[in-house]
A and B are shown apart, each in its own frame.
Chain A
Amino acid sequence: MANRSVTTESALVRWLLIGLAIVILTLFLLLPLAAVFIEAFRRGSEVFIKALTEDAALSAIKLTLLAAGISVPLNTAFGLAAAWLITKFRFKGRSFLLSLIDLPFAVSPVIAGLVFVLLFGARGWFGPWLKANDIQIIFALPGIILATVFVTFPFVARELIPLMESQGSDQEEAAVTLGARGWQVFRHVTLPNIKWGLLYGILLCNARAMGEFGAVSVVSGHIRGKTNTLPLHVEVLYNEYQFSAAFACAALLALLALLTLGLKSLVEHLSGHSAKGH
């Protein structure tokens, strides 16, 4: 009895802590999630399905997938390049670049949206030129994509940098000594080493891209069936007293999030296996 480990608390403390954790989890995570689904199905599955298949909802879903489908690959390419540069090379301004990559995390999404209005709006810096050339960026698809790319910028890079940092560049150096060229080193040495981290980063990036509200809200014109993404569509429906429809779309977003989390766990599971296989 007296030999008990010092890290073990008394039963009372343990149950109190566990109970507190469960209460907090229920209140802040499970209950809101359950509320979304209950509210979505309040008026039956018919209303639920109709809410997701009407034109405005379908176009919002399409726009959301398109914005994610463009910004995620762009940020994947960027994140890979940035992580490669930062971890495999030492150069002047390296830490500045690191902070720059983190900028979208630090800046409020609303500011991110407003910055694009300032740059590309009709009275913005490039406004007159864009207008003269009949190019619409803000209040149209390009603006929505720009805003999404901006807010999801750091996810892949941030996921890869610590991983690649810890792996060092020994294997790459060995490959170079054996005569491999840059691209070969990347494809056959670096990429296999980081693939799970990369996938994980892509999933997080995608989750945020589909769920972004603030920045997109500023640059979208809120046109029904045109420039409303799914999160914006939820707000519109809510404002139109279509609470069941609003929550149906919210449930779809929640489902996408759950799916992402499921995939994430799967990736963790698989990467754990592959690590053992080494």
Chain B
Amino acid sequence: MKSRLLLTFVLASFASLPACKKSAGTAGGTVELQNVSYDPTREFYADVNAAFAKKWAADGKGEIKITQSHGGSGKQARAVVDGQPADVVTLALAGDIDVIAQKGQLLPADWQSKLADNSSPYTSTIVFVVRKGNPKGLKDWGDLTNSGIGVITPNPKTSGGARWNYLAAWAWAEKHYGGDQKQVLDYIKALFKNVPVLDAGARGSTTTFAQRKIGDVLISWENEAYLIEKEFPGETEIVYPSLSILAEPPVAVVEKNTEKNGTTAAARAYLEFLYTDEAQELAGKHFYRPRNAAILAKYSAKLTPIPLVTVDKDFGGWAKAQTTHFDDGGTFDQAYGTK
């Protein structure tokens, strides 16, 4: 009796394996897309997916189901390279999708020219979140290295947001110290000396700061900062520094995967939908900066215009920024590794 039961179990387990051979793709008329994204986009894409599915059905194309995966941007890129069957990637920075193109060979090297605005349908920037009333009086990047200040930021090795944070701090220091590289590095060193918890992703840092109440300032995505205000009303304040960085979180179709899944057209339509007025409104609603100028203007009361450097102009593009700062032996290793 028992042995027969055992055999049934074993057989059932093997029978179920071929069923998951195709985890993405078409199943009974329903198109399925897998969107591998970074941390703070959870709420935004939940809304976008619902809106897109509605439009897809209204256009008479049937049912479309979009599944989401969220995590630190670098970690997510790594997973796609290792075989996560993503149809589209919507990550925190171009460098991470470059990794998928180079190491995974899953999309062409010129992926970023496939869609408008550097394939970034929305932008964002890096701001400070402080405790209500700003008790430590933190106004600008220079204040973050004061002694006794707890700075919360994720790990630039795994988190895309953290790399934007890092470059924004670097850009400020470079301007402040008139380009003296040693002083800039010393500033970064002092900054990371004030970091008590280095989470793997932006959302981890947010919960460390907002939920677990660790640290005095969170260096954060602008959209994440407003989300904290919504989730923890009356507990935090947003501080715009004198200088920050234009963050362009890009999106791309993972062509090798969609070709296999037969979802290329749907995936492309999904990403193009991000540029429509409807999705741009959703971006503004979730505190991303819409590319559409008219819609951006509607949200400018909150999304304050401040001076922004760009990766392309001030850091020579992501490939260069990545090797200079974040690869093994880069400035981050110099600042954080050798204490």
Contact = CB atoms under 8 A, between A and B. Distances in A.
Interface of A: 66, 69-70, 73-74, 76-77, 117, 120-124, 127, 131, 134-136, 138-142, 145, 221-227, 236, 238-241, 243
Contact of B82 (A70, A138, A239): A138
A73 B6 contact: yes
Given A74-B13, A122-B82, 13 more contacts: A74-B10, A122-B81, A131-B83, A139-B85, A140-B20, A140-B23, A141-B16, A145-B13, A223-B68, A223-B69, A226-B23, A239-B70, A240-B43
Interface string B68-81: 11110000000101
A136 B83 CA distance: 8
A163 B39 CA distance: 49
Interface string B8-35: 0110110011001111000000000010
B84 A221 contact: yes
Given A73-B9, A224-B67, A224-B68, A141 B203 contact: no
9 contacts: A120-B83, A136-B23, A139-B83, A140-B85, A141-B17, A221-B69, A224-B68, A239-B70, A240-B43
B13 A70 contact: yes
B302 interface: no
A215 B27 CA distance: 29
Contacts of B71: 222
Contacts of B79: 139, 221
Contacts, number: 96
Contacts of B204: 239
A65 B23 CA distance: 19
A122 B106 CA distance: 11
A205 B220 CA distance: 42
Contacts of B83: 120-124, 127, 131, 136, 138-139
Interface in B27-54: 34, 36, 39, 42-43
Nearest to B257: A122
Indicate the member of A66, A74, A122, A222 with the most B CB atoms within 10 Å: A122
A67 to B, nearest CB: 10
B61 interface: no
A117 B67 CA distance: 22
A66 B12 CA distance: 10
A135 B70 contact: no
Interface residues of B, number: 36
Given A123-B81, A134-B260, A224-B68, A142 B207 contact: no
Contact of B20 (A69, A123, A142): A142
Contact of B207 (A77, A117, A134, A238): A238
A123 B260 CA distance: 17
B6 A123 contact: no
Interface of B: 5-6, 9-10, 12-13, 16-17, 20-23, 34, 36, 39, 42-43, 67-71, 79, 81-85, 103-104, 203-204, 207, 211, 231, 260
B18 to A, nearest CB: 9
A168 B22 CA distance: 49
Contacts of A222: 69-71
Nearest to B65: A225
Nearest to A131: B83
Contacts of B69: 221-224
Q: Which 9 A-B residue pairings sit nearest by Cβ, starting from the closest?
A: A122-B83, A121-B82, A73-B9, A70-B13, A139-B84, A141-B20, A221-B84, A222-B69, A140-B23
B260 A136 contact: no
B44 to A, nearest CB: 12
Contacts of A70: 9, 12-13, 16
Contacts of A74: 9-10, 13
Given A139-B85, A142-B17, A239 B207 contact: yes
Contacts of A238: 207
A135 B21 CA distance: 5
Nearest to B42: A240
Contact of B6 (A66, A76, A227, A236): A76
Contacts of A121: 82-83
Contacts of B67: 223-226
Contacts of B13: 70, 73-74, 145
Contacts of A239: 39, 42, 70, 203-204, 207
A136 B82 contact: no
B174 to A, nearest CB: 33
B21 A117 contact: no
Q: Which of A69, A70, A223 has the most CB of B within 10 A?
A: A223
Contacts of B12: 70
Contacts of A224: 67-69
A70 B14 CA distance: 9
A239 B207 CA distance: 7
